[in-house]
């Protein structure tokens, strides 16, 4: 008998026998299988490792560089993601994968709607997490549609500015 235990109903077991990954529509579930019981953990988002690229380029060039290397600009879905940045990296201005999609509903629904998208998915944040600095985004002259990070806070900037950038790599815990 195999039982999947969610975060809401944890079981404490004695010894791990196998480790499995079960994919579902909602999340990936890590199973630690015991004699007849399992302890599961649901991850809604992939684990990421971030790399600082010390090369000053525009946001589109940073995105292209990442994609040519089979990755993308950094995505942050939680404060835990931000905390994974090395202290020296977090105090450097760097492009991240957030951008304001001019084709989103903002022009129809007003500035209160969320037209900010992540480069890797072309979707808004799945968690609603935001780390905007005070007064941001300010969309100066309608030209600030790309985002930099500094000290863990986000700032909208012109995509044609040159900055270093953060790229992400998804972490695989085991071969599937």
Kindly report the CATH number assigned to the domain that includes residue 129.
3.10.100.10
pLDDT, position 21? 44
Surface-to-core class of residue 97, CB atoms within 10 Å of its CB (0-12 exposed, 13-18 middle, 19+ buried): buried
Alpha-carbon gap, residue 124 to 116, rounded angstroms? 6
Tell how strand 94-100 and strand 116-118 pair up: antiparallel
pTM listed for this prediction: 0.67
* Number of domains the chain is built from: 2
Instruction: Answer whether residue 43 shows pLDDT above 60.
Output: no
Residue 73: is it exposed, middle or buried by C-beta count within 10 angstroms (0-12/13-18/19+)? buried
Instruction: Determine, yes or no, domain membership for 33.
Output: yes
Average pLDDT, the chain: 71
- Model pLDDT, residue 34: 41
Q: Of 48-52, 71-75, 170-174, where does the model show the most confidence?
A: 71-75
Ranges 80-84, 87-91, 156-160: which has the least confidence: 87-91
Phi then psi dihedrals of residue 34, to 5 deg: -120, -175
Report yes or no on 121 lying in a domain. Answer: yes
**Residue 89 pLDDT exceeds 90:** no
Establish if 19 belongs to a structural domain: yes
Min mean pLDDT across 6-10, 118-122, 137-141, 151-155 is at 6-10
Same domain membership, residue 35 and residue 65: no
Percent of the chain with pLDDT over 90: 26
Are 110 and 157 within one domain?
Answer: yes
Please enumerate in sequence order all residues whose Cβ is within 8 A of that of 88, keeping only pairs 6 or more positions apart, or say none.
none
């Amino acid at each position: 008998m195999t039982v999947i235990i969610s975060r809401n109903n944890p079981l404490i077991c004695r010894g791990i026998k196998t480790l499995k990954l079960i994919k579902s529509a909602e999340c990936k579930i890590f199973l630690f299988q015991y004699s007849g019981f399992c302890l599961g953990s649901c991850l809604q988002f992939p684990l990421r490792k971030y790399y600082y690229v010390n090369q000053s380029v525009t946001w589109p060039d940073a995105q292209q560089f990442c994609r040519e290397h089979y990755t993308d600009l950094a995505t942050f879905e939680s404060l835990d993601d931000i905390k994974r940045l090395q202290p020296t990296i977090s105090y450097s201005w760097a492009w991240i994968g957030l951008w304001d999609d001019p084709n989103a509903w903002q022009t129809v629904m007003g500035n209160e709607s969320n037209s900010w998208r992540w480069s890797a998915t072309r979707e808004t944040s799945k968690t609603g997490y935001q780390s905007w600095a005070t007064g941001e985004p300010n969309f100066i002259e309608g030209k600030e549609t790309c985002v930099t990070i500094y000290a863990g806070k986000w700032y909208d900037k012109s995509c044609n500015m040159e900055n270093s950038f953060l790229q992400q790599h998804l972490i695989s815990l085991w071969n599937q």
